[in-house]
Structure 1
Amino acid sequence: MKGVYLSSVALLISFLSFSQVGIGTTNPSNAAMLDISSSVNGTTFKGFMPPRVPSQIERDAITTTSIDTGLLVFVESTGTFEIWNGIFWESVYTLSTMAQTLAFQDFDTNLTWNYTVTPVFYNTAGDIWDSVITLGAGTSAIDNVSDNFLGCRDLNNPNGGGNFFHEIAFVNVNISGVVNARVAFDYDVFEFDNGDDVRYELFYDDVGQGQVVFINGNANYSEEGTLILNIPGSVTNVRLTFGITQNGDADFAGFDNFRVYGQ
């Protein structure tokens, strides 16, 4: 067994040493050691996310030497791409416009967007409507949310739930100081069946804009992503009501990073 393991390691090292590596492509450029494609299907595209550090304090905590020339990071507090020139960090480009976050609720450290919930949170015997770090055994498919998140599992239960929409209602946020305002949140839904739905409603200056069902469960439907909602420039205050109805402990969901932002 040890001989097989060593042979496998040697083969992997040989492969990495003498061939190009492609991510999202089976035909990487011969001129590149690493070739990252923006799409694997020609219709869904994604970008490259460089390493990000919160501020220059964390940047300076990176152990760098004279041979690390070319090391690149993005400093979030200044909106600056910075490169190590072998002696010090040098600014490559600074964003001319940065997003301004007006309210944020991630159930961890960003708690500025207050809310109420109906019913009150509960977490009993695997029936979950609560801020949690896990939904229990067998729920590793929920990976688009992290740390604490709004967790949902078997909401149709006698332990605080039932066959009705569980709702979280966020308070008004004044967006008059920004342009291009947006409301966004991350979601990860696993195998929602018929009757397992997720909906939201935006309120512009306390006027409801109508409920929108954006997850309509059917035949073990799964989806994850970030929903971004554009707010008209004429709006002064915006709030969000978000609801889930769901039955069964084999299907579940997580929601996180509810935020209002603009420029």
Structure 2
Amino acid sequence: MSALAGRTAIVTGASRGIGRGIADRLARDGALVAVHYGSDEEAARETVATVEKNGGRAFAFRADLAAPDAVDAFYAALDAGLAELGEGPGFDILVNNAGASGSGRIHQLTPETFDRLFTINVKAPLFLVQRGLDRLRDGGRIVNISSATTKHAFPDSVTYAMTKGAVDTMTLALAKELGPRGITVNAVAPGFIATDMNARRRATPEAHAALAALSVFNRLGTPADVADVVAFLVSDDARWITGQYVDVTGGTAL
């Protein structure tokens, strides 16, 4: 049987990039994947189509994580999507992948940008977990997508780095809190991945080469590089791993 057969996984921000890669990999491992998106319905449908092409099961649902009613809207849309498939509201895996970036350096920061990044990157995943605890089955898995910026100085986006530091702290606290239920909570920290989020930083061949050179493998990461690690952490093989920060940077800045 597939490693995740019979399990339901939620991946936030799964319409593109790392989220799409995670959704596809978990579906190929047998999970029913709930593909969350914030605004780009067409891209989310492309994720579902990719999953189905590879023999998996998925459905898309929308919730704006920056909205005041984000958590209510999220679970209402999730429940509707599950009900259409004849599934109940319970789930086994939550991957908090959705995120916003682009704060800039300290002198460029605005209160509006600060509030937006902390709302999407910190408040949303924390309250999604809180509201989902009565739905998340014992023995479940939570994976929070962190960033290499919490271990390496990254003044180009100081607030983004701060939000991911909060995610790391949240991961530790939740791992301790949920351990008695057999639920593991871990953070996965990518480096530079070839996605839309950092397209500006690799806009020229020279810039691309400079980013690739940060890894000991002299290349940018791919969504699959991250998705494969997430797939391990949500599997039974990772049952004895919790509260950890897993570096998925290709040896950046060693």
Normalising by structure 2, report the TM-score: 0.32
Q: Which of the pair is proportionally richer in strand?
A: 1
Q: Which of the pair is proportionally richer in helix?
A: 2
Normalising by structure 1, report the TM-score: 0.31
